[in-house]
Structure 1
Amino acid sequence: MSVSAKPAPKAADIQPVRRALLSVSDKTGLIDFAKALHEAGVELVSTGGTSKAIAAAGLPVKDVSDLTGFPEMMDGRVKTLHPKVHGGLLAVRDDAEHRAAMEEHGIGAIDLLCVNLYPFEATVAKGAAYDECIENIDIGGPAMIRAAAKNHAYVAVIVEGSDYASVIEEIKAKGGTSLALRKHLAHKAYSRTATYDAAISNWFAEELKDTAPDYRAFGGHLKQTLRYGENPHQIASFYTTGENRAGVSTATQLQGKELSYNNINDTDAAFELVAEFDPKLAPAIAIIKHANPCGVATGASLADAYRKALACDPVSAFGGIIASNLPLNGETAEEIAKIFTEVIIAPDADEDARRIIGAKKNLRLLITGGLPDAGAPGLTVKSVAGGLLVQSRDNGRIDLLDLKVVTKRQPTAQELADLKFAFRVCKHVKSNAIVYVKNGATVGVGAGQMSRVDSARIAARKALDAAEAVGASQPATIGSVVASDAFFPFADGLLSAAEAGATAVIQPGGSMRDEEVIAAADEKGLAMVMTGMRHFRH
């Protein structure tokens, strides 16, 4: 549908605010804002609960039904969808035809719109039933916001309370709102409605189990403007999506300097990994460097788990990210404080831990209040040239898999426990991934190599370096188990693991040469378990 393209009149930079329409679900700061508008001589028009709150504060307010001549109806679904509202928002004040239409139909100009939308995202996040979610889809709000934002040459639109102060300041200082402010608010308004609609469309897709909708939208709310991205020449920001999942996006930072792009990325990787380990079963620590684990362990205590994780690769752990599946305590904090660490993330921290970490002014301590559910559904998104790759989160859990022993030798109970541990960790290592584990701790990690054999050799080399650093007579890979994130395409990778001292192997299987690999394992006396599930991580 085409629209006439007559040139728009030139609007003045400063536009007076004589009438404001306020309709908000979140009433934080509303009364102070309404008082300031009233004191500036602005007529207040409002709806429903917002109108009642303003009137209860002793302020004069006109109900929107007085403006439209129609009562709110259909349980409040229809109240602002009316020409006297939208005409007041959309009218071009300097257009003679628009002014004539306003006079003919008794439409008064609305110079300021303040709307925050029904809390759809929060309703979904709390797990509300389908019908309740539907009722929290705002219709009139987005329509008014879009109308006001389109006509920002004359109308200011507010979609969140954080902008109340800047609007009042301009009205007091300039007698109205500036075009620069109105443009800024219009941009935010369209961003908000886009994010809102994205949340609704993705919820519908989930409800309908539509894994590939014709259109896919994603939205977020700015949490932090970052100093730079992965490198200093890149611009970056951090947005939250509203997903109800504990993690770096929901964490409270108790201390330390501002998080960087790489800090956030690595902290998320660390916390997602450590969440694989049930805190009811054992304390667990993960140490991450460049989004790959350089040490993961469970232990008799949290401090014990940290020491075991650190022993895997103490060199790489320097300047790393540490995640705990339990509240951080003083004993563990003392151990961590012995070397330079960038970030610690944990469900909580006791007073001793906070005091000890507090002495390290640059060390960030993040508290989340809980662990993310490693088995929860969700989506991951990656940009490519001209598009987005969208997939479901890798929420595969080894405890739910049908493990098959394919060799002559069965794994011992300890080997099986370590094999499961290794596969949990392997899921979080960049492909090609090889992880050696012994007694509930990683002892060698090979990540991101083009060849699986190279990953196996690098992991073994790391173990040898760690042994030499502490004067051990042999690397910890002797008597360990090994996990591979994908099948061994040839027997060479498995043979490299056997040479490193591994006694048992866990891998997905599915190679056309599986029989050859199994035969090599039998020849070496290894036990081998196949999971049937791959964990590529690119």
Structure 2
Amino acid sequence: MKKRALLSVSDKTNLVEFAQGLDKLGYELISTGGTLKKLQEAGLPALPVSAVTNFEEILDGRVKTLHPFIHAGLLARRDDESHQQQLLDRDISPIDVVVVNLYPFKETIEKQGVTEEDAIENIDIGGPTMLRAASKNFRDVTVVVDPSDYDDVLAQLQSETPSVAYRKQLAAKVFRHTANYDAMIAGYFTEITEQQDPETYTVTYEKVQSLRYGENPHQQAAFYKEPTVKGASIANAKQLHGKELSYNNIQDANAALEIVLEYQQPAAIAVKHMNPCGVGIGETISQAYAKAYDADPVSIFGGIVALNRQVDEETANQLKDIFLEIIIAPSFTEKALELLTVKKNIRLLEIPMEETNTNPKKVVSVVGGLLVQDRDQGSVTKEDLTCPTDRQPSEQELEELLFSWKVVKHVKSNAIVVAKGDQTIGVGAGQMNRVGAAKIALEQAGEKAKGAVMASDAFFPMPDTVETAAQAGVTAIIQPGGSKRDQDSIDACNQHGIAMVFTSMRHFKH
């Protein structure tokens, strides 16, 4: 009996060449729709599926391969005499090779202004069914979902019969592919029906690259992205220069990007170990970077810098003077690239920052499970603040308080940020007690703390942080409020002439 291959693809990359290879190997080709037309136009003797099923496609193509003559040919086991006899009794031919890829659902929902009807019509039914049937029967059927596998599959078929192990690998790829496809459909419908915390959380990611290792050399790692990720994301970065990003680079770069997106003014962020070590804003990006550098010229060494404006020649001259792992910006001038690419290892990442509507959910793995929450997109304005102290903050202090509040949101808890004049001057991150974080931030600020402001990511359970701030010369504090002992901190502020405002919003970051 002549070997038979079924081809039905949306992505027609290298289709004709692959089909020609199958034809030379003696396979009878059967096909559908646009795939059939392309094969016939190339002079290949392809038969329509309807010639096999004796049933014309109906419902505008919604039903064409959903037929026992197709699926029996896919699912029949060659080593089962009963299966083979049933095929023979019904004059059904086995199908040995299946080449299918699916309707472009992802590409459809990525289009601007896509309608629900368009999305629904691009949900493939027959394709996944054939793929799953062929993959279930991988011991007898070779199933191909990825055009990049065509050459390898032809080489395997030329050696008569691919091994069961090879077919199993192809089947595994199919099941990953259909799971990815179904996850995108599930995600789309969950989103448009506005269901929160569904009974199952089905997500899918696509591989960007393998990484040399993870946080440490003994840990294996890879980088994956959301299939439809948009806007400002490390997954959308265009690397202009430098060696490949590491696991830690990606983590730090993401942290830097999240902070710089908080600011509308020209802003520069320096990050080490996922915490900001220097943040500055200015009238120009060069001024902003100068402030970020001056905030902590020691910690910035070997760090990541993110800027929310094009890197020009002036800023590039500043950046090239120290060792940096990564520079992130929406763009670089030609002169800036010329200056910065002299450094062999520095990574230059270009990331669009105009559109920031990325996935509103944050996912963190724990052993055996996932934690899923809304991203912390909370923010406050002057109007949101309340002031319980005798002294009200000045307009200048208010601006500095709001500036520091945007920074402390991105510092590991317990978190304290000290700022002055559009610049951080001290950051205390990840401490087991709040006053400890304050002492670190104030020690870093030194004499600059006099007349500075302080931000705390959570309320003060005791007045000790206020006392420590007062001793250093801090004049205004921003914190969420809400402690049972708020009055103790208010009294301490009043005693020292400190203005304190409450945000009624906490920014824990674990």
The answer as to whether partners of 1:286 and 1:322 remain within 8 angstroms in 2 is yes
Q: Which of 468, 475, 497 is equivalent to 1:525? A: 497
For 1:426 and 1:400, the matched residues in 2 are separated by 17
Question: Is structure 2 residue 146 aligned with structure 1 residue 164?
Answer: no
Deviation at 1:263, TM superposition (A): 0.8
Question: Is structure 2 residue 378 aligned with structure 1 residue 396?
Answer: yes
Deviation at 1:376, TM superposition (A): 5.5
Instruction: Indicate how the Cα distance of structure 1 residues 430 and 46 shifts in structure 2: closer, same or farther if over 3 A, else same.
Output: same
For 2:344 and 2:5, the matched residues in 1 are separated by 47
Q: Which runs of 5+ in 1 are unaligned?
A: 1-15, 465-473
Aligned to 1:274: 260
Question: Is structure 2 residue 170 aligned with structure 1 residue 185?
Answer: yes
Aligned to 1:486: 458
Question: Is structure 2 residue 15 aligned with structure 1 residue 30?
Answer: yes
Correspondence 1:287-366 to 2 at 5 A: 287-366=270-349
For 2:278 and 2:355, the matched residues in 1 are separated by 20
The answer as to whether partners of 1:17 and 1:176 remain within 8 angstroms in 2 is no
Aligned to 1:147: 133
Q: Which of 30, 39, 56 is equivalent to 1:45? A: 30
More moved, 482-491 vs 515-524: 515-524
Q: Which of 446, 450, 454 is equivalent to 2:432? A: 450
For 1:325 and 1:57, the matched residues in 2 are separated by 51
Aligned to 2:421: 439
Aligned to 2:488: 516
Deviation at 1:17, TM superposition (A): 9.8
Instruction: Indicate how the Cα distance of structure 1 residues 30 and 395 shifts in structure 2: closer, same or farther if over 3 A, else same.
Output: farther
The answer as to whether partners of 1:146 and 1:190 remain within 8 angstroms in 2 is yes
Correspondence 1:489-508 to 2 at 5 A: 489-508=461-480
Which one-letter code corresponds to 1:309 in the other structure? A
Q: Which runs of 5+ in 2 are unaligned?
A: none
For 1:17 and 1:489, the matched residues in 2 are separated by 80
For 2:280 and 2:442, the matched residues in 1 are separated by 17
Instruction: Indicate how the Cα distance of structure 1 residues 251 and 169 shifts in structure 2: closer, same or farther if over 3 A, else same.
Output: farther
Q: 1:23-65 CA distances to partner (integer Å, 9 max, x unpaired)?
A: 2222333333333333433332222222223333333322222
Aligned to 1:86: 71
Deviation at 1:446, TM superposition (A): 0.8
For 1:494 and 1:144, the matched residues in 2 are separated by 68
Q: Secondary structure at the match of 2:500?
A: strand
Question: Is structure 2 residue 176 aligned with structure 1 residue 204?
Answer: no
Instruction: Indicate how the Cα distance of structure 1 residues 429 and 100 shifts in structure 2: closer, same or farther if over 3 A, else same.
Output: same
Question: Is structure 2 residue 104 aligned with structure 1 residue 126?
Answer: no
Deviation at 1:495, TM superposition (A): 2.4
Q: 1:311-355 CA distances to partner (integer Å, 9 max, x unpaired)?
A: 111211111111111222232222111111111222222211222
Which one-letter code corresponds to 2:380 in the other structure? I
Q: Secondary structure at the match of 2:384?
A: coil
For 1:18 and 1:462, the matched residues in 2 are separated by 75
Instruction: Indicate how the Cα distance of structure 1 residues 350 and 518 shifts in structure 2: closer, same or farther if over 3 A, else same.
Output: same
Q: Secondary structure at the match of 1:454?
A: helix
Aligned to 1:409: 391
Instruction: Indicate how the Cα distance of structure 1 residues 392 and 125 shifts in structure 2: closer, same or farther if over 3 A, else same.
Output: farther
Deviation at 1:238, TM superposition (A): 1.0
Question: Is structure 2 residue 96 aligned with structure 1 residue 111?
Answer: yes
Q: 1:212-249 CA distances to partner (integer Å, 9 max, x unpaired)?
A: 21111221111111111111111111111122233111
The answer as to whether partners of 1:247 and 1:371 remain within 8 angstroms in 2 is no
Aligned residue pairs total: 508
For 2:64 and 2:10, the matched residues in 1 are separated by 15
Deviation at 1:501, TM superposition (A): 2.6
Q: 1:90-109 CA distances to partner (integer Å, 9 max, x unpaired)?
A: 12122211111222223222
Deviation at 1:415, TM superposition (A): 1.6
For 2:2 and 2:226, the matched residues in 1 are separated by 34
More moved, 191-200 vs 425-434: 191-200
Which one-letter code corresponds to 2:334 in the other structure? E
The answer as to whether partners of 2:409 and 2:509 remain within 8 angstroms in 1 is yes
The answer as to whether partners of 1:17 and 1:111 remain within 8 angstroms in 2 is no
Aligned to 1:427: 409
Q: Which of 249, 258, 281 is equivalent to 2:244? A: 258
More moved, 392-401 vs 407-416: 392-401
Deviation at 1:118, TM superposition (A): 2.1
Deviation at 1:399, TM superposition (A): 4.3
> Please, what TM-score do these two structures have when normalized by structure 2?
0.94
Aligned to 1:223: 208
For 1:179 and 1:209, the matched residues in 2 are separated by 44
For 2:465 and 2:103, the matched residues in 1 are separated by 56
For 1:285 and 1:97, the matched residues in 2 are separated by 72
The answer as to whether partners of 2:57 and 2:63 remain within 8 angstroms in 1 is yes
